[in-house]
Amino acid sequence: MRVEVRGASDIGLKRSQNEDHLGHWSPADPAARACRGTLLAVADGMGGALAGEVASRIAVETVLAAWAAAPGDDPLADLTAAVEAANRAVYRESVAHPDLEGMGTTLCAVAVRGPEGLVAHVGDSRAYLVRDGVARALTADHSLVAQLVRSRQLTVEQARVDPRRNVITRSVGVAPTVEVEAARLAGPLRAGDALVLCTDGLHGLVSDAEIALATTAAGLDAVCADLVRLARERGGHDNITVLVARLAGGE
């Protein structure tokens, strides 16, 4: 399975700095790539001054490095451990530097190993699988409004405008340990599938249907630019980050 990856991160229209971060890793050697695959990651940091920017950068860099160094015998365990390593790295940095105290970040990571897909996340950054023109969320937000939707106290439409929509219930780096939600994707990935990872600055303003439609653009740079443009046109109240991977058959 060949994987083409592009991403974009935009400060938006309301923020003074960009606290999002994104990254991906894939070994250059084809044999190693067949074994280890490609890892995609996005993070949305939080904290005073530059703390959020630091937290998201450390989280993404650590999860990619930990995945790359993992033995590969149990990919789901490796991915979970990589996110846990990111949590420890962010937490250690916040303890070591008083000006970064309390910083944290969301983190969403997706691994593609041939037809196998794995996802791990903490917080409300999301991953989608786009197939046959439909975007299906692969993650469930760790947020207050998501809990209220699941308990039927809010509708999805109400959650989009609820003043509590930015309150997350789980994040990376605010405590020594964190509960990571991780799973294998049900069924194999197929040529033509697209994986979209994004922060809430995008999915809070752009619908699942619009995400699916945008992925039909011929070039992935255009996909990313279109999605960022939509979020900015709708107010761009937060940083906007998207990472898109398109799958094709063969090597």
Q: How far apart are CA 242 and CA 157, in angstroms?
A: 22
SS3 call for 13: coil
DSSP for residue 185: P
Tell me the average pLDDT across 182-193. Answer: 96
The mean pLDDT of 35-50, rounded to a whole number, is 91
Residue 251 has pLDDT above 60, yes or no: no
The domains of the chain are located at 2-183+190-248
Whether 86 shows a pLDDT value over 90: the answer reads yes
**Whole-number pLDDT of residue 210:** 97
Nearest to 162 by CA among 140, 139, 144, 150: 144
Residues forming beta bridges with residue 45, ordered by sequence position: 105
CB 211 within 8 A of CB 203: yes
Given a contact cutoff of 8 angstroms between Cβ atoms, the answer to whether 111 and 100 are in contact is no
Q: How far, in Å, CA of 228 to CA of 6, rounded?
A: 13
Fold held by 2-183+190-248: Phosphatase 2c; domain 1 (3.60.40)
* Per-residue pLDDT at 223: 97
Q: How far is CA 233 from CA 10, 162, 215, in A?
A: 13, 20, 18
> What's the rounded Cα separation, in Å, for the pair 238 and 88?
26
CA angle 250/111/223 to nearest 5° reads: 75
pTM of the model: 0.93
Confidence tier at 25 by pLDDT (50, 70, 90)? very high
Token duo for residue 237: 């109240």
Q: What is the pLDDT of residues 192-249, one digit of tens each?
A: 999 999 999 999 999 999 999 999 998 999 999 999 999 999 999 999 999 999 999 7
Flag whether pLDDT at 146 surpasses 60.
yes
Contact 108, 132 (CB under 8 A): no
